[in-house]
Amino acid sequence: MFRGRTGTALALAVGALLLQTAGAPAQGALTATLDASGIIRLSRGGTALAVIELNAHGPDWKHAPQADAAARASDLPAPGGKQFVGALPIPNTNGGALEFTQTVTPIPEGLRLEYDIAAGATMRLNGLQLSILLPVDSYAGQEVVVSRFDAESQIVGLPQEPPTQGFQLWFGEGAKIEIAKGAEGAATVELRAPTDVVIQDLRQWEQSVFEVRFPAIMEEQGREVTQDDRFHLDLTVAFPEPVKLQGP
């Protein structure tokens, strides 16, 4: 569950990190490559499948991608994995930053991810979220199934062509998200508790990706956060095959 001590706020936001091809592992192997900031790049062979990143929006929706974070990486004890302790600078906040601890732990055929986030000082944010970014070339025409505790599952199509009106494909609460079930790039995201989910097509923003977003803050007018606010997200990302974890 991704929740702040003062609750979860919602509105519409934009922004994502452009996908980059990870370093080529063994042909056909599914690999999760971690970079120095904690970004996770999923690839098979030399083909990028997805990017998972913590990111935020400062005032006026100024994007703060995880690539801008400074972090220290360390190894975790058995069964292994990595921990990142870092700070993500937030634009338009007079030097404000979000402090985060991220752990990435291998599990059978997947990864467990945990994020703990706090404000280093009082600041205003339009957005704070974890994003899973899917390249349009690989996922257009596929479906995302969002399972919910209190309602029927929702099937969200990822369109071949950009929507003519808006870019938000679905918004609501979910507990499990199945991406491209049965296809080569299939993945299942399970959350420790239901949380807000936004599915977006970012092509009108000149980014050829679909975004599955888990927002803690999405507010048009922004929200003030202080050093007393804490945010936590705990989830697993599973695949129909083993995944190799590498770097940094």
141-169 tens-digit pLDDT = 999 999 987 778 999 999 999 998 889 99
Report residue 7's pLDDT band, with 50, 70 and 90 as the boundaries: very low
Buried b (16+ CB within 10 A) or exposed e, 15-31: bbbebeebeebeeeebb
State yes or no: pLDDT of 94 exceeds 60: yes
State the amino acid at position 120 in one-letter form: G
Can you read off the two tokens belonging to residue 3?
Answer: 């929740």
State the amino acid at position 98 in one-letter form: L
DSSP string of 32-98?
Answer: EEE-TT--EEEEETTEEEEEEEEEEEEGGGEEE-GGG-EEEEEE-STT--EEEEEEEE-TTSSS-EE
Q: Considering the entire predicted model, what is its pTM? A: 0.87
Can you read off the two tokens belonging to residue 103?
Answer: 């752990």
Residue with tokens 């001590």: 5
Whether the CB-CB separation of 4 and 231 falls below 8 Å is answered with yes
Virtual torsion, Cα 140, 31, 118, 193, nearest 10 deg: 70
The continuous run of DSSP H or E covering 139 comes out as helix 136-139
Q: Please work out, in degrees rounded to the nearest 5, the angle formed at the alpha carbon of residue 90 by the alpha carbons of 209 and 93.
A: 140
Of 127, 134, 131, give the one whose Cα is nearest residue 203.
Answer: 134
167-219 tens-digit pLDDT = 999 999 999 999 998 887 899 999 988 899 999 999 988 899 999 999 999 99
CA distance 78 to 18: 33
53-69 tens-digit pLDDT = 999 999 999 999 999 99
CA distance 132 to 129: 10
Contacts of 142 (CB under 8 A, 6+ apart): 157, 158, 179, 180, 183, 185
